[in-house]
Amino acid sequence: MRITEILALFMVTIPVLLVIVAMFGYDQGNGFVEATRIIRMEPEPNVTSSDDSTLQRDQEQKDSVGLSLLGGLLVSGFKKESCLSRYQSYQYRKASPHKPSLHLLSKLRAYEELHKRCGPGTRPYIKAERLLKLKQTDDEESEGCKYVVWMSFSGLGNRIISIASAFLYAMLTDRVLLVEGGEQFKDLFCEPFLDTTWLLPKDFTLTSQFSGFGQNSAHCHGDMLKKKLINSSSVSSMSHLYLHLAHDYNDQDKMFFCAEDQNLLKNVPWLIMRTNNFFAPSLFLIPSFEEELGMMFPEKGTVFHHLGRYLFHPSNNVWGLITRYYQAYLAKADERIGLQIRVFDEKSGVSPQVTKQIIACVQNEDLLPKLSKGEEQHKQPSEEDLKLKSVLVTSLTTGYFEILKTMYWENPTVTRDVIGIHQPSHEGHQQTEKLMHNRKAWAEMYLLSLTDKLVISAWSTFGYVAQGLGGLRAWILYKQENQTNTNPPCGRAMSPDPCFHAPPYYDCKAKRGTDTGKVVPHVRHCEDISWGLKLVDNS
């Protein structure tokens, strides 16, 4: 009986021990593992503590700040209320697929420090300006600060793309860029640099002489070359030189794009520049700049895209025009299409050929649907299939807008998409010196850059600015000759960058003419101007 009782007790105890072992588990390396691996079968309740909420808010704030700084292109520290567009523009634009290189960011940060040290009002600036009164150089006096002054010239689109070129040149040559523009310029754009200004002071020593600067003036670089008055010896005593880089410049002026001349110019404290061109493509052909530019812009066709977004922030007055229009007419659209129409013969009115060209382009390229005919036009799309496309038209006149609006109001589309046609202004003709005209022009360029797809007119710097800021490869409406239809009506841009309308055709090393659009693979002839030059990606 005793043995029977022991066996019975053993039989009862063994299963209990096995259950305990199974519950707690056994780890070969560490013995029994923590019981929580088996015991805590139910998930933890979904409770967010106040600390977690704070961390989430902080992370969201950090993310929004990162987006507003455009991948490090911009710096923080500006007062938000002084320039709302700097901190709000990312909310209206898709994130750019083109990321700035680390080398470009490093160059921008170095430039900002230089501008802060040498900008207007600083001791180096005051000493450098004194050289203009003495009309001779003094290395000790200038404290190593050199300047390029951009003279106000031409229409707003030309001003924007030429300033971007001048800024690129300033970065390459360790100069400070100052722009002439006065109160109107300040009314259109925010200051791009922290704790300093890029505006040329009103009392600048040479301002009164600007109107007299030309290709035959005493300090014109090109004219001095022509007269053989400029060399390494003479240039060392010069306080300033005038650079004529406008569309009408001559062969001597174009020597600016030769390495030999750049070597002479580097010692002149003040360079006064008049230009209405996006001359960046020719800077890529100067051997001394080639390596630096390659590191700054691995994607060659994004020079204006990056520099434009860095430099040009709409003032609060202009930003109000942009955001109010966007919210009223574009915000709710499933897709936004920009259509910039520039007819250079303003007296011709609405051209039937141009009308046909516009319609053929937007429909053939599937930017807008064709019109529906027959019985199927009465079928109503379901709510799920209904798609709203908003078309932003910019033009000096209303003729093309009215034609498109009537066409898509009176007829349904084959896709059943609903098409809204909108035009912010119609100024009649270009009025470069009027403030409100320029406000509207700048607002419309910016609005076009916020669209998903863009059509622009050939030769137009207005359109160039829009596609560049947006990082878009626009469809370009080819310029008609003698009112004849073009075939095809439009073509896709190779890159977002503007076209250099008046490039030099000269081989500086061989000292003879050459086709500068065939020297390197990333500088090619433009889509809309056969003799122009454009930056494109190597691929």
* DSSP state letter for 327: I
**Alpha-carbon gap, residue 153 to 220, rounded angstroms:** 17
Across 15-29, 244-258, 264-278, 334-348, least confident range = 15-29
Is residue 477 within a helix (H) or strand (E), and if so which, with residue range? strand 475-477
245-269: average pLDDT: 96
**Alpha-carbon gap, residue 266 to 170, rounded angstroms:** 11
- Answer yes or no: is pLDDT of 441 > 90: yes
Residue 30: per-residue pLDDT: 39
Contact 246, 275 (CB under 8 A): yes
- Answer yes or no: is pLDDT of 128 > 60: yes
**Alpha-carbon gap, residue 469 to 529, rounded angstroms:** 21
Cα separation values, 434 from 430, 440, 460, 511, Å: 9, 10, 20, 44
- Answer yes or no: is pLDDT of 278 > 50: yes
* DSSP state letter for 393: E
Residue 1: per-residue pLDDT: 47
pLDDT in tens, 295-318: 999 999 999 999 999 999 999 999
> Which stretch, 29-43, 220-234, 431-445, 450-464, has highest mean pLDDT?
450-464
Residue 47: per-residue pLDDT: 44
Residue 379: per-residue pLDDT: 65
- Answer yes or no: is pLDDT of 338 > 90: yes
130 burial class (0-12, 13-18, 19+ CB within 10 angstroms)? middle
pLDDT in tens, 30-69: 333 333 333 333 444 444 555 665 555 554 555 555 688 9
Residues sharing a CB contact under 8 Å with residue 79, sequence separation 6 or more, in sequence order: none
Q: Strand 335-340 to strand 453-457: parallel, antiparallel, or no bridges (unpaired)? A: parallel
6-20: average pLDDT: 56
**Alpha-carbon gap, residue 280 to 292, rounded angstroms:** 13
Place of tokens 């600015």: 465
For the whole model, what pTM was predicted? 0.87
